[in-house]
Amino acid sequence: MQRIGVFVCHCGTNIAGTIDVKAVAEALKNEPGVVFSTDYQYMCSQAGQDIIKNAIAEHKLTGIVVCSCSPRMHENTFRKTAAAAGLNSYMVEIANIREQCSWVHKEMPVGTEKAIILGKAAVAKVNLNAPLTPGESPVTKRALVIGGGIAGIQTALDIADAGFPVDIVETKPTIGGKMAQLDKTFPTLDCAACILTPKMVEVAQHENIRIFSYSEVSEIKGFVGNFDVTIKRRARYVKEDLCTGCGACTEKCPQKKVPNEFNLGMDNRRAIYIPFAQAVPKVATIDADYCTMLKTGKCGVCSKVCTAGAIDYQAKDEFVEEKYGAIVAATGFNPISMDKFDEYAYSQSKDVITSLEFERLTNAAGPTAGKLLRPSDGEHPHTIVFVQCVGSRCAACAEKGKEYCSKICCMYTAKHAMLTRDKYPDTDVYVFYIDVRTPGKAFDEFYRRAVEEYGVHYIKGMVGKVSPEGNKLKVQASDLIAGKQLHIDADLVVLAAAIEPDKSARPLATMLTASMDTNDFFTEAHPKLRPVESPTAGVFLSGTCQGPKDIPETVSQAGAAASKVIGLLAKDKLTGNPCVAHSDENMCNGCSTCGNVCPYGAITYEDKEFRMPDRTTKMRRIAVVNEAVCQGCGCCTVACMSGAMDLKGFMNKQIMAEVDAICK
């Protein structure tokens, strides 16, 4: 028989405000096995934990129940408390009477009654708990960063500087991500390339970093500390080790009409290309969709001009298998498609562009060499209208846009408006906004400078329609403050498109078994206290794959993710989850059903000799669970027809006891 202690937490008034905690402690006193029951203001505090430790010693407790917040919050805390008092940490059960009781029920009698029932269920379970010892597994001291934008770059550099090898997998031919496409960065107006490219070079030269560019992750197996990852290196038809990046091939390639994705299709590149001058690795790539040689077998110009002999038309996709201890998702974002926003005439006029396209138009390395010219006729625009929140904060039009605020648009539009007025003072700049949101260091000052010093016309109100007429764009909008309709003849309309997670994030999350929210942003383990970790152990989040962020935030989150990875890789051994499946060999008949449903292949079968009652021996096939591989889902326990398989920590009889306690 267990000797159980019950500890009811007030959590200030969080629990005690809706639940009569004394009554709960009192009611649970009479439950089977309970020898001690008390309540305290904050069980998780040092004083609260001391109460638990003292009670364990004084009453020789063999199990404890803490009625408090969610086990996702403090289960570990109380397990450590128990362990410190010499009790096995798996003899602890939590009754969640805060998140699932006091916070969702308003009336004291109702809440108290439910809290008592939840407490009884936990007592019933802990009565059947057995001490568990976690196994240990080694840690592969290598990290994988998926995505080579500023988030991935910073994470990789920080991990590599701590002395651990890191691999970056990037789908594009070069690292750099969205930041490489930007012109200036707010609020300091640093040139993006000037602060990004040194970091890219540092990555390329770092002895601990390998870059797999033009590659993607195709399979992930394993678990924290021991991930087995298959990386698909797409054929770039250029030998990376031989190519010097001289660019001779990209000048001579006769296929000149390939839309240049780096400039968002606003100009063309060749079929063999280097995305931009500072690309890392600076290696050419052949676009198989456009290359005449690869399509028809007739051309071969690039091969002829390549003095390094780097061109290889026979190249095939290669698969690299590597082991990692930790994986960082840094898959970034994309602006949403403007297809559904026809009111802004994006598809009808070349002079309606997105902010990222505007960024390329003002970039010295962009299609116009940094001169602000209309894409349609190359004329200088005299009136520019910026439209904010295109697809952001779209609660009423969720099928078109996003419900959330994209966070960066207010600031980059202020930057665009300011830079335009600075370079071309003869240009009228209008910004239509719902709200201007500028929380951040020196952000509001920056926005005010755009209005006060640079004379940008900020108008509260949304643009209703943009219609191309002749070489003008007729903009109809409302001015909410003046309470009137506005008609502006604009030369250029710039849409601040909402940002969304990159399309590769969803399949990656599936491979990682990491959870996502309804917008396909990765979910963090705790929104406040564990913002850079995924709930899946060993998976970390860096940058905008977790939510909209500007560059300073992305870099700080990237560093935070790196520090978590370093903390993991610095360990030699990881303690596993002891709540794994276990087969009772006396009941198992070796039917293989459990092995067939196991998602991890953790169950194998072996022949074992059993002594029979008549003193003969008999060989029988039985299931054996590999505890290091089993993740403890419990699928096999339900599939097992003979009832031999059970899950430690969540045993059939424990869950049944909980059901009984609740239904009593």
Partner 1 sequence: MQVNGEFKPLIVAFCCNWCSYAGADLAGNNRLNYPAEVKIIRVPCSCRVNPMFILRAFQRGADGVILCGCHPGDCHYTSGNYYTRRRMALLFSMLDYLGIEKERTRVEWVSAAEGAKFAATMNDFVEKVTALGENKRLEDLRCKK
- Give residues in contact with partner 1 (CB under 8 A): 70-72, 96, 98-101, 103-106, 110-111, 113-114, 117-118, 121, 509-510, 513, 515-518, 523, 535-536, 579, 597, 599-600, 631-635, 637-639, 647, 650, 652, 655-656, 658-660, 662-664
- The smaller minimum CB distance to partner 1, of residues 124 and 499, is found at 124
Distance in Å, CB of 535 to partner 1, minimum: 6
DSSP 8-state symbol, 100: I
CA–CA separation, 582 and 202 (whole Å) = 49
Please list, in sequence order, all residues whose beta carbon lies within 8 angstroms of the beta carbon of residue 304, skipping any fewer than 6 positions away: none
DSSP assignment letter at 521: P
What pairing do the DSSP bridges indicate for beta strands 136-138 and 573-575?
antiparallel
Q: What is the Cα–Cα distance from 192 to 179, expressed in whole angstroms? A: 6
Q: Which is nearer to partner 1, 33 or 649 (CB)?
A: 649
Q: Whose Cβ is closer to partner 1: residue 105's or residue 620's? A: 105
Q: What span, in angstroms and rounded, lies between the C-alpha atoms of 436 and 389?
A: 10
Q: How far is the CB of 71 from partner 1 (least distance, A)?
A: 7
> Quick one: 47 or 662, whose CB is closer to partner 1?
662
Query: If we measure between CA atoms, which residue out of 69, 99, 56 comes closest to residue 8?
Result: 69
| Cβ at position 572, least distance to partner 1 in Å | 26
Q: Which is nearer to partner 1, 107 or 572 (CB)?
A: 107
- Taking the CA atoms of residue 49, residue 53, residue 59 and residue 61 in that order, the dihedral angle to the nearest 10 degrees is 90
By beta-carbon proximity to partner 1, the closer residue of 257 and 664 is 664
Residue with tokens 């001779």: 248
Residue 486: both structure tokens together:
């506005």
CB of 146 to partner 1, least distance (A): 18
Whether the CB-CB separation of 391 and 430 falls below 8 Å is answered with no
Residue whose tokens read 């996502």: 516
Amino acid sitting at position 198: P
Q: Give the phi and the psi of residue 5 in degrees, each rounded to 5.
A: -110, 135
Phi, psi at 20, each rounded to 5°: -80, 90
Comparing CB distances to partner 1, the nearer of 373 and 405 is 405
Burial bucket for residue 3 (CB in 10 Å: 0-12, 13-18, 19+):
middle
Min dist. Cβ of residue 334 to partner 1 (A): 21
Smallest gap from Cβ 537 to partner 1, in A, equals: 10
Task: Tell me how far apart the alpha carbons of residues 59 and 82 are, in angstroms, rounded to a whole number.
Answer: 13
Q: Tell the smallest beta-carbon distance from residue 113 to partner 1 (Å).
A: 7
Is it true that the peptide bond before 578 is cis, omega within 30 degrees of 0?
no
Nearest approach, Cβ of residue 329 and partner 1 (Å) = 15
Nearest residue (CB) to partner 1, 99 versus 267: 99
560: left (phi over 0), alpha (psi -120 to 50) or beta: alpha
Paired sense of beta strands 318-324 and 285-286, if any: unpaired
3 state SS of 598: coil
Distance in Å, CB of 573 to partner 1, minimum = 23
Smallest gap from Cβ 532 to partner 1, in A, equals 16
Alpha carbons 301 and 445: distance in angstroms, whole number: 54
Identity of the residue, 16 or 168, whose beta carbon is nearer to partner 1 in the bound complex: 16
Tokens 């599936």 sit on residue: 510
Cβ contacts of 585 within 8 Å, gap of 6 or more: 608, 622, 644
> What is the rounded CA–CA span in Å between residue 529 and residue 259?
44
Decide whether 38 or 652 has the Cβ nearer to partner 1. 652
In angstroms, give the least distance from the CB of 62 to partner 1: 22
Q: Which is nearer to partner 1, 54 or 510 (CB)?
A: 510
Minimum gap (Å) between residue 134 Cβ and partner 1: 15
First to last CA, the chain: 21
Q: Cβ closer to partner 1: 35 or 405?
A: 405
